[in-house]
């Protein structure tokens, strides 16, 4: 996805980039530009499909008018799988005979991507792209499943950095000699890099105190064979003309608004056919689809604070039509709210009761709980390991349960970003209960596990070019006891009267957040509200405020949940950590917390623009 601007400069600052243990969670509309910028800053080879200009000036791929993943996207699946499988077996045999430190495992990942992207503003076309691409990732492991080249490095220094995972562009045609040459070079490089890393890690372990880690670097996983059935051809660029016309028309609502600093309506659709093969015998061909129409509006207050709001519509199949009324009504609501925010007072720091409306509660769940239950973090000595000793202990109220279920495709009628059949290590996705009735039960695992008998629960995820690690998919908070969501306001006022506080907070919407999980930083999180209002104890009308972020620590914050509403909702976004930016979802009802802390938000020090925007004739 492309986005006009990024208004989170701290993410890309030199101080933040090296600290990979700061995890950020963003709405779907923000993820692609942030991911691309993050990858460029770190020197990673993120996939960025090329597109060729058409005669009309728009950008379309080589088969944009008639793309079908079964035919145009690379030929017949069985032939392609056979091509990679034969070479994987051959190259592994050769490498195992040629070196004193042979590889014990080899895997290939091939992603074929079809994409459409369209952006409009004030009736004009900002971007119109369509295309296809193919990328290869190779994973080689040396050592043994107990201890191999992926073992955590203690006191990691720059010279131990590892570039063994790759993201190689392949010719977009049926596999032949060019693909074979690229595959051979990539496999050789992956093996050499894995061997070099294994030698460094072994030396590191030999000069450090004994480890507490009794787990496996690569647990066994039964081989799986699966192939998606063929599906209908996907819409070409021409088929989207009607949809794009509706988007352009709705974007005219941005015209002639002097306080509108930036705006756009965008359409993004991506269908990825994934081939996966490994030396354990797993052979997979499956497809993942993501799409959304997003609205973005931004203004700048007189004191320099940048304020923005978003709204997204998600889908699995590219819509050829979309109701103009739905798009225009959502746009007008965002514009009205943005005008209110621009003149709203800046709120002071605060500690007290708060209602997290469902979407805000979903992000809260992801940031406070989700990253700390990713299993590989329990192996690294520089990780905080917040919950490693908390198995079978109470962490939250007994009516709260949390699971991560990547097999779930929809929730409350909304497609989930975090849905997948198989993870990026070829393991079937699995629903994993993490907290049951307030009691912590389990971690999310890739094939890197924390006990000798451990196994993956299908959560090994990563972009091509980075090693898969344990990551969230669809993180779902459920409450066995709920109250009508509207009654949470009355319960909040009861707390206010009891504590003598004049007001509490209601977080309507949220942009995302980040959390720190490493021991070298406080075990804290921050979620970034977009639209906040005060609820007064004496019953006065609510008052919109701006300029605060919610902060806290996990063990304290989870215990503050007092009530849950009956209104679950979905937050779709992208989550960034060691294995790249991956699509995720979080689902939760509205929550009442007895106490939460809010800190002042940093603001831009430049004044609003002096020159007025150009006039647009409607």
pLDDT tens digits, 284-339: 999 999 899 999 999 999 898 999 999 999 998 888 889 999 999 999 999 999 99
Q: What is residue 46's predicted lDDT score, i.e. its pLDDT?
A: 28
Ranking 67-76, 456-465, 497-506, 585-594 by mean pLDDT, the lowest is: 67-76
* Mean pLDDT, residues 240-269: 95
Is the Cβ–Cβ distance between 12 and 36 less than 8 Å?
no
Q: Is the pLDDT of residue 183 over 80?
A: yes
Q: What is residue 8's predicted lDDT score, i.e. its pLDDT?
A: 29
Collapsed DSSP state (helix, strand, coil) of residue 451? coil
Instruction: Determine the Cα–Cα distance for residues 120 and 519; give it in Å rounded to an integer.
Output: 44
Phi-psi group of 466: left, alpha or beta (phi > 0 → left; psi -120 to 50 → alpha; rest → beta): beta
* Mean pLDDT, residues 178-193: 94
Q: Is the pLDDT of residue 212 over 80?
A: no
Alpha carbon 434 to its chain centroid, in Å, reads 19
Q: Is the pLDDT of residue 376 over 90?
A: no
Is the Cβ–Cβ distance between 61 and 51 less than 8 Å?
yes
Collapsed DSSP state (helix, strand, coil) of residue 292? strand
Alpha carbon 309 to its chain centroid, in Å, reads 19
Backbone angles phi, psi at 191, to 5 degrees: -65, -45
Instruction: Determine the Cα–Cα distance for residues 266 and 244; give it in Å rounded to an integer.
Output: 9
Is the Cβ–Cβ distance between 39 and 206 less than 8 Å?
no
Is the Cβ–Cβ distance between 214 and 452 less than 8 Å?
yes
Q: What is residue 468's predicted lDDT score, i.e. its pLDDT?
A: 94
* Mean pLDDT, residues 160-181: 80
pLDDT tens digits, 26-72: 454 433 333 332 222 222 222 333 333 333 333 333 333 333 343 34
> Which is nearest to 270 in space by CA: 410, 65, 130?
130
Q: What is residue 610's predicted lDDT score, i.e. its pLDDT?
A: 78
Rounded (10°) angle between helices 77-98 and 177-206: 40
| Topology of domain 69-342, CATH | PmbA/TldD fold (3.30.2290)
Length of the chain equals 618
Collapsed DSSP state (helix, strand, coil) of residue 274? strand
Q: Is the pLDDT of residue 407 over 50?
A: yes
DSSP 369: I
Q: What is residue 39's predicted lDDT score, i.e. its pLDDT?
A: 28
Q: Is the Cα torsion angle 420, 421, 423, 429 positive or negative in sign? A: positive
> Which is nearest to 291 in space by CA: 269, 271, 267, 320?
269
When pLDDT is cut at 50, 70 and 90, the band that residue 443 belongs to is: very high
The alpha helices in 65-212, defined as continuous H runs, are 77-98, 177-206
Domain edges within the chain: 69-342, 350-600
Q: What is residue 355's predicted lDDT score, i.e. its pLDDT?
A: 98
Q: Is the pLDDT of residue 108 over 50?
A: yes
% of the chain surpassing 70 pLDDT? 85
When pLDDT is cut at 50, 70 and 90, the band that residue 454 belongs to is: very high
Instruction: Determine the Cα–Cα distance for residues 394 and 436; give it in Å rounded to an integer.
Output: 9
Q: Is the pLDDT of residue 370 over 60?
A: yes
* Mean pLDDT, residues 442-469: 94
Is the Cβ–Cβ distance between 142 and 198 less than 8 Å?
yes
Q: What is residue 45's predicted lDDT score, i.e. its pLDDT?
A: 28
pLDDT tens digits, 385-403: 888 889 999 999 999 999 9
Q: What is residue 156's predicted lDDT score, i.e. its pLDDT?
A: 55
When pLDDT is cut at 50, 70 and 90, the band that residue 75 belongs to is: low
Q: What is residue 109's predicted lDDT score, i.e. its pLDDT?
A: 97
Instruction: Determine the Cα–Cα distance for residues 323 and 338; give it in Å rounded to an integer.
Output: 23
Residue indicated by tokens 């980075």: 466
Q: What is residue 432's predicted lDDT score, i.e. its pLDDT?
A: 98
> Which is nearest to 54 in space by CA: 135, 128, 2, 126?
128
Q: Is the pLDDT of residue 598 over 80?
A: yes
pTM for this predicted structure: 0.86
Pairing verdict, β 283-300 and 225-227: parallel
As a whole number, the mean pLDDT across the chain is 85
Q: Is the pLDDT of residue 343 over 80?
A: yes
pLDDT tens digits, 128-168: 999 999 999 999 999 999 999 998 887 654 433 455 667 89
Q: What is residue 581's predicted lDDT score, i.e. its pLDDT?
A: 93
Q: What is residue 61's predicted lDDT score, i.e. its pLDDT?
A: 35
Q: Is the pLDDT of residue 542 over 80?
A: yes
Ranking 53-62, 253-262, 580-589 by mean pLDDT, the lowest is: 53-62
């Amino acid at each position: 996805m492309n986005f006009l601007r990024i208004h989170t400069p701290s993410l890309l600052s030199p101080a933040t980039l090296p600290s990979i243990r700061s995890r950020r969670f963003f709405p779907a509309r923000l993820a692609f530009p942030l991911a691309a910028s993050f990858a460029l800053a770190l020197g990673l080879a993120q996939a960025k499909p090329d597109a060729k200009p058409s005669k009309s000036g728009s950008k379309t791929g080589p088969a944009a008018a008639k793309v079908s993943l079964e035919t145009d996207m690379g030929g017949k699946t069985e032939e392609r799988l056979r091509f990679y499988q034969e070479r994987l077996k051959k190259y592994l045999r050769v490498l195992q005979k040629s070196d004193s430190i042979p590889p014990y495992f080899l895997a290939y990942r091939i992603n074929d991507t079809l994409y459409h992207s369209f952006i409009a503003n004030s009736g004009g076309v900002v971007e119109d792209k369509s295309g296809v691409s193919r990328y290869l990732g190779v994973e080689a492991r040396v050592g043994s499943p107990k201890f191999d080249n992926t073992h955590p490095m203690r006191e990691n220094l720059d010279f131990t950095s590892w570039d063994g995972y790759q993201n190689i562009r392949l010719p977009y045609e049926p596999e032949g000699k060019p693909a074979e040459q690229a595959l051979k070079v990539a496999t050789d490089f992956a093996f050499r890099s894995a061997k070099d890393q294994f030698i460094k890690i072994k030396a590191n372990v030999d000069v450090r105190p004994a480890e507490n880690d009794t787990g496996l670097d690569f647990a066994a996983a039964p081989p799986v064979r699966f192939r998606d059935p063929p599906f209908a051809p996907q819409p070409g660029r021409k088929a989207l003309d009607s949809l794009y016309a509706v988007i352009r028309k709705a974007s005219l609502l941005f015209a002639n608004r002097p306080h509108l600093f930036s705006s756009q309506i965008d359409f993004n659709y991506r269908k990825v056919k994934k081939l996966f093969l490994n030396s354990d015998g797993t052979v997979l061909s499956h497809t993942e689809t993501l799409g959304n129409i997003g609205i973005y509006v931004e203004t700048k207050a007189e004191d320099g604070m940048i304020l923005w709001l978003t709204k997204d519509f998600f889908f699995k199949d590219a819509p050829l039509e979309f109701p103009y009324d739905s798009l225009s009504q959502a746009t007008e609501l965002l514009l009205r709210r943005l005008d209110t925010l621009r003149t709203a007072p800046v709120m002071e720091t605060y500690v007290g009761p708060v209602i997290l409306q469902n979407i805000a509660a979903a992000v809260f769940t992801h940031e406070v709980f989700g990253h700390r239950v990713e299993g590989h973090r329990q192996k690294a000595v520089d990780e905080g390991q917040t919950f490693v000793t908390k198995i079978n202990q109470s962490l939250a109220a007994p009516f709260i349960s949390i699971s991560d279920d990547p097999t779930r495709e929809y929730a409350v009628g909304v497609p989930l970003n975090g849905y997948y059949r198989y993870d990026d290590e070829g393991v079937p996705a699995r629903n994993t209960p993490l907290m049951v009735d307030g009691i912590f039960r389990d971690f999310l695992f890739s094939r890197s596990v924390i006990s000798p008998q451990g196994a993956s629960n299908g959560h090994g995820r990563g972009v091509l070019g980075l090693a898969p690690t344990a990551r969230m998919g669809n993180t779902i908070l459920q409450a066995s006891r709920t109250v009508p969501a509207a009654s949470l306001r009355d319960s909040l006022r009861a707390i206010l009267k009891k504590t003598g506080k004049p007001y509490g907070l209601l977080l309507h919407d949220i942009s995302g957040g980040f959390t720190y999980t490493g021991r070298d930083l406080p075990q804290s999180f921050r979620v970034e509200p977009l639209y906040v209002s005060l609820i007064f104890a004496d019953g006065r009308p609510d008052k919109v405020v701006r300029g605060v972020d919610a902060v806290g620590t996990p063990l304290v914050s989870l215990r503050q949940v007092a009530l849950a509403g009956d209104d679950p909702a979905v937050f779709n976004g992208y989550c960034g950590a060691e294995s790249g930016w991956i699509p995720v979802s979080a689902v939760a009802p509205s929550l009442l917390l007895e106490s939460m802390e809010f800190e002042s938000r940093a603001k831009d020090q430049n004044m609003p623009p002096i020159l007025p925007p150009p006039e647009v004739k409607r």
